[in-house]
Amino acid sequence: MTNSTNKYAEAGVDINKGNLFISKIKNIVSETHRRGVLSDIGGFSGLFAIGNSDYNDPVLIASTDGVGTKLAIAKLCNKHDTIGIDLVAMCVNDVVVSGAKPLFFLDYFSVSKLDLEVATEVVKGIAKGCKIAQCSLIGGETAEMPGLYQPGDYDLAGFVVGIGDRNAIIDGSDIKVGNKIIGLASSGLHSNGYSLVRHVMFQELGLKIDQEIEEFGCTLGEELLRPTRIYVDAITNILRRFPINGLVHNTGGGFIDNIPRILPGGCDAHLQKGSWPVLPVFSFLQEHGKISEEEMYRTFNMGIGMLAIVDEENVEDIIHQFTAIGEKAYLIGEVTATKGSEGKQVIFM
C-alpha cells in the first residue's frame, strides 16, 4: 500500500496532501453553514434539509458557472483570496434573478499539482462569497491532474442551489410595455471579457500587472481583480417590499444578449446612454483597445451588473430603497412596444 501511494505521488497526485487540504479548510467551510446543513466537509456528498415552512410550493433553482480567464490575473498577481468571491457571485447572481434565495454551494477546483497555500486562499474567497450571499458551502471536489494543466495553473467551477416559491418565480412573463428599467452599479469588469481585456492590456499595450494606471487610481492588477458584486441581499430586500417583473444578470454577452433573455414577445428595451456612469476601466479599454461601442456593450457590463424591470409607479421608491441599503441604482431605460414582428431588441438612445 505504501509503495503504491508513493508511486501515485511520483506520477503527480499526492493523496496525503489532498487529505491535509481538507483538514486545513474544515473550519473555513463550517463558518458558512446555515440552518439546514446536515453534513460536514469530507464526506461523499453534502446534505441539506430544505423544509417547507417558508414556502407554499417550494421550487429548487440551480446554476453553475466559472470565472473564465480572470484566473490568469490571479496568477499574475499571485493573489488568490478574491477569485472565490467571483466564483460565488457568478452563480448566485444567476439564481437570484429568478427570485430565489441561494441555499448551498459546491466548488470544483482542478490543478496540476496541489499548492496548499494557494488552494486555501481560494477556498477562503469562496467562503467569503458564500457569507455575502448567505448560502452554505457544503462540499466540493479537488482534483490533481498533472499533464492537463501547466505548473501553477488551476481552474474553478461553482454550483449553487437556491429555493423559491413556484408562484413567486420571476421569469419575465409579467413584463409589459411602460415598465421601467433600473440598473445596479457593478464594481468593474466582474468576470467577463477577460480574454479581450488581457489581449488589449498585455499584448497590444504592453502594460505590466503592477503598473499604476492613473485613470484607475490603482495598479492594473488591482483593477482587474476587483471582485464581482453579489446582489443577493439587495434583490431579496426589494422583493420583500415591491414586485419585480424581471431581473437580468448583466454578465457574458452584456446588454445586447442578456436583456432579450427575459423580455416577452412584442417588447423591446430602450436604454438611455449617459443615465449611469461608465466606469474608467471601460472607457480605457474602448479608447486604447479601439473597440467599437457595439462590441463594448455586448462584451462588458459597462458599469451595470444587474437590471430590474419594474412598474413605473414603484421606480422612485425602489431606487430609494436600493440607495438606503448601499446600492448605486439608476433609472436607465424602459420597455417599449416593438416595431418588428418579435421584438426583444435592445435599443440605445
Domain coordinates of the chain in residue numbers? Answer: 2-168, 180-348
Q: Which long-range contacts (CB under 8 A, 24 or more apart) does 249-252 make?
A: 249/93, 249/94, 249/96, 249/97, 249/305, 249/306, 250/183, 250/186, 250/301, 250/304, 250/305, 250/306, 250/307, 251/90, 251/93, 251/94, 251/190, 251/191, 251/192, 251/301, 252/192, 252/193
Could you tell me the pTM of the whole model? 0.91
The confidence score (pLDDT) of residue 225 equals 98
pLDDT tens digits, 286-330: 999 999 999 999 999 999 999 999 999 999 999 999 999 999 999
The cell numbers describing 293, all together, are 461601442
User: 180-348 is classed in which CATH architecture?
Assistant: Alpha-Beta Complex (3.90)
pLDDT tens digits, 212-234: 999 999 999 999 999 999 999 99
The confidence score (pLDDT) of residue 8 equals 67
The confidence score (pLDDT) of residue 177 equals 95
Give the Cα separation of 21 and 114 in Å (integer): 9
The most distant pair of C-alpha atoms in the chain lies apart, rounded to whole Å, by 73
Q: Are 99 and 174 in contact (CB under 8 A)?
A: no
The confidence score (pLDDT) of residue 56 equals 83
The confidence score (pLDDT) of residue 147 equals 87
Looking at domain 2-168, its CATH class is alpha beta
The confidence score (pLDDT) of residue 349 equals 87
Residuewise pLDDT in 10s, the chain (349 residues):
445 457 767 666 676 777 776 776 667 767 667 776 666 666 666 776 787 567 788 889 999 999 999 999 999 999 999 999 999 999 999 999 999 999 999 999 999 999 999 999 999 999 999 999 999 998 889 999 988 888 889 999 999 999 999 899 999 999 999 999 999 999 999 999 999 999 999 999 999 999 999 999 999 999 999 999 999 999 999 999 999 999 999 998 889 999 999 999 899 999 999 999 999 999 999 999 999 999 999 999 999 999 999 999 999 999 999 999 999 999 999 999 987 667 789 989 8
The confidence score (pLDDT) of residue 251 equals 93
The confidence score (pLDDT) of residue 55 equals 79
Three-class DSSP category at 247: strand
Three-class DSSP category at 231: coil
The confidence score (pLDDT) of residue 49 equals 76
